[in-house]
Structure 1
């Protein structure tokens, strides 16, 4: 499953190259830029899940870049990665809008841990962001269909491919009972098999990841019928079970018996001679 898209602002290639390589190895999509104005332009015109910013740049002070970003985007997680180690400089960086501050030289594992933490606790997007990026939002659940990312109450939820497909389908069909037959057809493209437990097992795994530890449940079971995704803001009192598909009865073909052919005589017609033939002269 794709992970977060990160903008990495660092003018020192000797630091940027190995750091970028490790981040990408961990699954992050990293866009590296060397100048502050380039970073600012991209952060204001493209979608990023987080940013790692140096402060000492060739064209502009990194603090100015962070302040400009914060004036337009108050929710973007930003880690400051700088050689400025004085306490007052750190405080200034945090006051400018950084969410975290890490001094150089740094341990890559520490950077990975800090990055993971700020991404997990990223604030929920605004309604404008939801519309601008085509996100799906139900209560505190956010789904990014382009990147196949899922967040619940601001926390990223790691889902396998089929788990994501099932969740996405359920969110698009809220407050409606989904039968096992329908889920097998839509998620696996399988014909219905009443003996299979593949749907039940997948729903159980998904429910554990999406509902465990949260006050509001999203995935429910209607025993003997199927499963449904509950939109907490909607009325499900009139929720109905889909009617089973009606299979048209095919009439038995009417077979007309073929006429039996007339028997073919094996001998010619019987000729009876007249009585005179038996008289002697």
Structure 2
């Protein structure tokens, strides 16, 4: 698995790279946003660790440009302690997760391995199930990882795709926020319920006129109705 690490703090860059390489990961590094974007395009990493505070570009802008290249690559943000608004904005813009500085390298490795396991599980499930699912206004192609809303292809991130895939195969089933965290994130973390709410709201916006198809069941969770 190839990981792109973008951070302008040399000490963090070297420490995280060393620990990731000891775990068997291939690591590509960058100390700036512009170089990071170019390496994202050229190196085609499987996952990105992105610091929000970079000397040339805002981390959010870096993430936005990366998503324009490939929305399927999971992005974990590295944020300063206590910057809750930064974390929530990152989730709103499509980040898969965030880790607060200062952090333990073991935490990063845990988060990466969880995401890797989710990716592998998704591939296995998709290989052993029907490729095309059509329900109402949604058409989902698993192998191609494409989703069409009213016959128009809409771009979704890795975790958004997995969420829709889960919901569309369980029409009218209510999922609690805890269940969604376990099934889609694979672990619990600070601010978890807010992260789920933000994630669902992003999907609703991409559903456009069908946003209400994902129903909020107050005191319970969410369900898809089509």
TM-score interval, smaller chain: 0.5 to 0.7
TM-score (norm 2): 0.52
**Distance (whole Å) between structure 2 residues aligned to residue 41 and residue 24 of structure 1:** 22
Give the conservation status (yes or no) of the 8 Å contact 1:9–1:33. Answer: yes
1:200-240 residue CA offsets vs partner (Å, 9 max, x unmatched): xxxxxxxxxxxxxxxxxxxxxxxxxxxxxxxxxxxxxxxxx
Gaps of 5+ in 2: 129-142, 144-226
Give the conservation status (yes or no) of the 8 Å contact 1:81–1:101. Answer: yes
2:127 to 133, 140, 143: 140
**Distance (whole Å) between structure 2 residues aligned to residue 139 and residue 118 of structure 1:** 16
TM-score (norm 1): 0.42
* Alpha-carbon shift at residue 65 of structure 1 (Å): 0.4
1:80-121 residue CA offsets vs partner (Å, 9 max, x unmatched): 012153222111011222101001001111111111111222
Structure 1 or 2, whichever has the larger Rg, is 1
Does 1 or 2 have the higher relative contact order (CA < 8 Å, sep 6+)?
Answer: 2
Relative to its length, the structure with more strand (as a share) is 2
Give the conservation status (yes or no) of the 8 Å contact 2:81–2:102. Answer: no
RMSD between superposed Cα atoms in Å:
2.4
**Secondary structure at the counterpart of residue 122 of structure 1:** helix
* Alpha-carbon shift at residue 46 of structure 1 (Å): 2.6
2:70 to 63, 68, 73: 73
Report the counterpart of residue 95 of structure 1 in structure 2. Answer: 92
Moved over 2 A (4+): 122-125
* Alpha-carbon shift at residue 62 of structure 1 (Å): 0.8
Label 1:44 to 1:140 Cα distance change in 2 as closer, same or farther (>3 A): same
Gaps of 5+ in 1: 126-136, 142-152, 154-281
**Distance (whole Å) between structure 2 residues aligned to residue 139 and residue 55 of structure 1:** 33
**Distance (whole Å) between structure 2 residues aligned to residue 114 and residue 138 of structure 1:** 21
**Secondary structure at the counterpart of residue 31 of structure 1:** strand
Relative to its length, the structure with more helix (as a share) is 2
Within a 5 Å distance, the mapping from 1:16-165 to structure 2 comes to: 16-83=13-80, 85-122=82-119, 140=127
Give the conservation status (yes or no) of the 8 Å contact 2:74–2:96. Answer: yes
